[in-house]
């Protein structure tokens, strides 16, 4: 079952809602929905309802709202992924998969080894990231769409101080493991993980992160690609809290 996020105000059982424009395209052309197919619909006030497709034509989809949807609540920490911008579609892959897992916020960062050049296409890139996060949330039945932050420079990380739970991928230090982090995190806390670029952080960047109270963490015995590291980290955290 998939989900549609509406921009409308409160909806009620028995009413109909109209899906047009970008969501219409995604549902009809990408997901290829059919009449009577079931959906979850969420309005602007975060109310969730079961719904079914009542009508489809060349420009719009009509959903018939049924009873409220009762979601199973899982107490888990908030996860924020910071990632150095990657080549090609790897950024979108990282955002898509981590959104499906449950990551709450993404912060793209320019590091010294970032290969991607940011110029006048910056806004288009962020717009695409937000579209990917929205569509992945619809596909995975997310309760909310994760936030996509503006692109930051590495030096701005110095002012990033949400809480004490700040970690970055560090291949050269085996002292702190992912299991240590999981054992000490509470389900009402926020956990930030900074994924390095394809060429890894520089030594100067590592020293700076440590000075800024980030902790280096080795999440695997193997060397993982940047996008794989983000997915592995988020999956491990959420798998632990899902079973508890």
Instruction: Give the residue extent of every domain in the chain.
Output: 2-68, 78-243
Q: Tell the CATH topology of 2-68.
A: Ribosomal Protein L25; Chain P (2.40.240)
Residue 71: pLDDT band (50, 70, 90) is confident
**pLDDT at residue 120 above 70?**
no
Q: Residue 72, CB half-sphere, CA atoms under 13 Å: how many?
A: 4
The tokens for 203 are 């030594």
- CA diameter of the chain: 60
Q: Does domain 78-243 have CATH number 3.40.50.300?
A: no
Specify whether the CB–CB gap between 79 and 107 falls below 8 A: no
CA neighbor of 83 nearest in space, from 185, 203, 169, 181: 169
**Mean pLDDT of all residues in 52-77:** 87
Per-residue pLDDT at 10: 62
Does the pLDDT value for residue 162 go beyond 80?
no
Average pLDDT, the chain: 88
How far is the C-alpha of 199 from the C-alpha of 170, rounded, in Å? 12
Question: Mean per-residue pLDDT for 133-155?
Answer: 92
Confidence (pTM)? 0.85
Q: Are 234 and 106 in contact (CB under 8 A)?
A: no
Q: Which two tokens stand for residue 176?
A: 């702190």
Nearest to 167 by CA among 188, 191, 202, 203: 191
Domains 2-68 and 78-243 share a fold: no
Is there a contact between 123 and 98 (Cβ–Cβ < 8 Å)?
no
The number of beta carbons lying within 10 Å of the beta carbon of residue 225 is: 14
């Amino acid at each position: 079952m998939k989900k549609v996020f509406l921009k409308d105000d409160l909806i009620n059982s028995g009413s109909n809602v109209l899906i047009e424009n970008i969501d219409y395209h995604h549902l009809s052309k990408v997901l290829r929905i059919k009449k009577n197919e079931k959906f979850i619909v969420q309005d602007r006030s975060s109310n969730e309802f079961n719904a079914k497709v009542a009508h489809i034509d060349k420009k719009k989809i009509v959903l018939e709202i049924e009873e409220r949807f009762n979601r199973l609540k899982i107490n888990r920490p908030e996860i924020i992924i910071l990632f150095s911008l990657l080549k090609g579609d790897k950024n979108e892959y990282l955002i898509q998969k981590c959104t499906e897992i449950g990551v709450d916020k993404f912060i793209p960062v320019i590091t010294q080894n970032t290969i991607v050049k940011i110029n006048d296409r910056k806004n288009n890139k962020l717009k695409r990231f937000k579209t990917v996060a929205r569509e992945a949330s619809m596909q995975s039945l997310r309760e909310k769409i994760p936030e996509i932050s503006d692109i930051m420079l590495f030096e701005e990380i110095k002012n990033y101080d949400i809480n004490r739970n700040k970690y970055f991928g560090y291949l050269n230090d085996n002292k702190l493991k992912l299991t240590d982090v999981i054992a000490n995190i509470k389900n009402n806390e926020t956990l930030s993980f900074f994924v390095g670029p394809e060429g890894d952080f520089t030594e100067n960047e590592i020293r700076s992160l440590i000075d800024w109270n980030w902790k280096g963490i080795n999440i695997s015995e193997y060397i993982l690609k940047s996008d794989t590291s983000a997915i592995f980290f988020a999956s491990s955290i959420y798998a632990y809290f899902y079973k508890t």
